[in-house]
Structure 1
């Protein structure tokens, strides 16, 4: 069985016919993303550094814009290379034609990249861990899983199907095609232990989609043959006490993840360098530990540029990003029948090592610092306490729309998921203000917008 272009463009709720419509399906999906409330909220959500940590922070919104630009650059470079311009890809002529026809349009890859972080809660991974802790008996919480939930169910472009995007757009953001219940570590936490008493490692959710979105995933994968569906959803068991992990992803997802990896590996380091958190000695130490850097990577010259004047840093960033894009290779997995699953894009080992080294500086000099971890813990505490309050008496504390959804929920699982959806939708600032209003004397007003 093959998937036709029409099947890839199908929407869960069907395509509403408009006599005046002139846009392509890709253009409609793109417009729905950028005009959505969930996308706008990303401007108030933490990327690596807190939103208020500097005058020019990267937020989830600016990160998503950069990922979209890099994703578009990857597709454009692959299109030129498949046509015989630029570094060769080592494919036969027939293979080059097949993959060239498979490449997403610029609008499509930008749509997928812009949407990839749309489900992340306030305060980054701290907020994610808090919500996963409170939802552990109700299907859990994971940011990528929430992305699919927002796109396919929650956003207000349709009555039941969220943004009602095309199948290909939704398949592109399905980073982890395995449900929470199948990959979560089944060892229960000690009863009676509170959120703030547990190590962060015990709170991290598995990489997954939420079981509440199983019907959306079933629709996404329906056109594939059974063997492809089964293989795509395969998992590998984790070590004792760890979550299992999905093994595979679609072609568009692989392109988006490369753009994401390049963005946070290079641009997050730019933020840390600009704030003098990462210094030349950190660069030298990180590169000395790397065992397999690319031949093109002149660490001394690029290091001097990176820690030079701002325009020199931009020159170094531009060169590194462009070289990484041109290093991408295409790999065929013959176990899959459909080309959307059969073909994958990846970085060679040397370029992957370079990205790990670059991001490692951010991990050791920014993310891993006690001060940063304290901020993450504070966000975790805020989100956890807000969830507890709203869950304790939803009809008293939730805003009007969420109260109505809670009252209409079909069962207790769906009702508690409404609480989770509300807390996850908050920006960092909204969550902080609501926490102050609830827990700090003389803070907050009856006229505050919920």
Structure 2
């Protein structure tokens, strides 16, 4: 389960990572230079993920130190977690899935795996050639697309990886015993994967913290989220979680800083909130797997988990993502993608060129032969 030190460098220098700068986090990329994009979000997730690992490692008598990922590895996992995120947010993802539903599907995390292992241009056909541990750290949904039914995929992409990548995932899981590998790929009764690796659980917590806190900062900084609108809801979220102060600073005082016209005060409030969530991370055993890399999970208490969900769903989503401007952008994006598929379907050779068309046709022929066992 070693890490290759160049992993995060290859991600940072990849074209896929650079493309994240034009993909929205919450607001459109033409709305000013303050707000975050998927690129800046990924950098912040990397910093938070590293902070979580550092904080766990420095705890006295921490029993799971041998399982903690190296700082460079968790940063690479966090940097890579959104590489497959499509343009136009979840609207773009829905449109891509709708058009690819009968051709292998589309899903953001599945596309991340495809980019890392095949599409990036470091090794021809092998992507960045990620280590096993990096790959499993990014793999949020260890179930292949083909295991879902039509009902499961009704109008939205299922949480999966692509069927063509099944041999790759099986190879990554070969270091675990067969029972662990089989259980790890279990599909739950709610048609969602159940398990994730220890490293992936750290990355997902870092992602949740960045989404819940930093997107809140964007909304406040742009004067879209005002204290008169969300201040009471914010205070209720902390109160219900039993949190009345952070580092001896009362929550009301933190909210004063957050909604201050002074950018330094606002940044101090955000720093206190991020630090609070990072320090709150604990590591628990599931007692389901023999390997600690699969059995250990980074978690926060139920109360703090509810607070994070409150920030992301009740505050950020309802007040920012559900805005008419954001929903209009997503809808326009869906129409753009639908129209592109129609255009490529009508005149593929003229639009992508003979060389790329021949490469695509050759790849499709190989897939058909492989499926027929030839």
Q: TM-score, normalised by structure 1?
A: 0.76
Gaps of 5+ in 2: 369-374
Once residues 336 and 296 of structure 1 are traced to their aligned partners in structure 2, the CA distance between those partners, rounded to angstroms, is 38
Q: CA deviation at 1:68?
A: 0.4
Once residues 195 and 225 of structure 2 are traced to their aligned partners in structure 1, the CA distance between those partners, rounded to angstroms, is 34
Q: Do the aligned partners of residues 401 and 251 (structure 1) sit closer, same or farther apart at CA in structure 2, a change above 3 Å counting? A: farther
Q: Do the aligned partners of residues 412 and 269 (structure 1) sit closer, same or farther apart at CA in structure 2, a change above 3 Å counting? A: farther
Given that 1:184 and 1:206 are in contact with CA atoms closer than 8 Å, whether structure 2 keeps it comes out as: no
Corresponding residue for residue 22 of structure 2: 44
Once residues 401 and 334 of structure 1 are traced to their aligned partners in structure 2, the CA distance between those partners, rounded to angstroms, is 53
The superposition leaves residues 167-190 of structure 1 with CA deviations (integer Å, 9 ceiling, x where unpaired) of: 1111110011111222355378xx
Corresponding residue for residue 265 of structure 1: 212
Q: CA deviation at 1:215?
A: 1.5
Once residues 39 and 184 of structure 1 are traced to their aligned partners in structure 2, the CA distance between those partners, rounded to angstroms, is 32
Q: 1:71 aligns with which of 42, 49, 57?
A: 49
**Count of residue correspondences:** 361
Q: 2:362 aligns with which of 400, 408, 411?
A: 408
Is 1:392 the counterpart of 2:371? The answer is: no
3-state DSSP class of the match of 1:121? Answer: coil
Corresponding residue for residue 129 of structure 1: 94
Given that 1:119 and 1:150 are in contact with CA atoms closer than 8 Å, whether structure 2 keeps it comes out as: yes
Corresponding residue for residue 343 of structure 1: 296
Corresponding residue for residue 172 of structure 2: 220
The superposition leaves residues 396-431 of structure 1 with CA deviations (integer Å, 9 ceiling, x where unpaired) of: 2115664343132234978xxxxxxxxxxxxxxxxx
3-state DSSP class of the match of 2:298? Answer: strand
Given that 2:110 and 2:161 are in contact with CA atoms closer than 8 Å, whether structure 1 keeps it comes out as: yes
Given that 1:46 and 1:123 are in contact with CA atoms closer than 8 Å, whether structure 2 keeps it comes out as: yes
Corresponding residue for residue 275 of structure 2: 322
The superposition leaves residues 14-42 of structure 1 with CA deviations (integer Å, 9 ceiling, x where unpaired) of: xxxxxxxxxxx532111211111111111
3-state DSSP class of the match of 1:130? Answer: helix
Q: 2:265 aligns with which of 307, 312, 315?
A: 312
The superposition leaves residues 257-296 of structure 1 with CA deviations (integer Å, 9 ceiling, x where unpaired) of: 0110000100011111111111112333323654732425
Q: Do the aligned partners of residues 255 and 402 (structure 1) sit closer, same or farther apart at CA in structure 2, a change above 3 Å counting? A: farther
Once residues 404 and 296 of structure 1 are traced to their aligned partners in structure 2, the CA distance between those partners, rounded to angstroms, is 63
Once residues 174 and 312 of structure 1 are traced to their aligned partners in structure 2, the CA distance between those partners, rounded to angstroms, is 37
Corresponding residue for residue 365 of structure 1: 319
Q: CA deviation at 1:391?
A: 3.0
Q: CA deviation at 1:152?
A: 0.8
Is 1:281 the counterpart of 2:281? The answer is: no
Q: Do the aligned partners of residues 399 and 326 (structure 1) sit closer, same or farther apart at CA in structure 2, a change above 3 Å counting? A: farther
Given that 1:179 and 1:211 are in contact with CA atoms closer than 8 Å, whether structure 2 keeps it comes out as: yes
Q: TM-score, normalised by structure 2?
A: 0.91
Q: Do the aligned partners of residues 135 and 324 (structure 1) sit closer, same or farther apart at CA in structure 2, a change above 3 Å counting? A: same
Q: Do the aligned partners of residues 288 and 220 (structure 1) sit closer, same or farther apart at CA in structure 2, a change above 3 Å counting? A: same
Once residues 395 and 72 of structure 1 are traced to their aligned partners in structure 2, the CA distance between those partners, rounded to angstroms, is 46
Corresponding residue for residue 337 of structure 2: 383
Gaps of 5+ in 1: 1-7, 10-24, 85-92, 189-201, 239-243, 415-450
3-state DSSP class of the match of 1:322? Answer: helix
Over the aligned positions, Cα root-mean-square deviation in angstroms equals 1.9
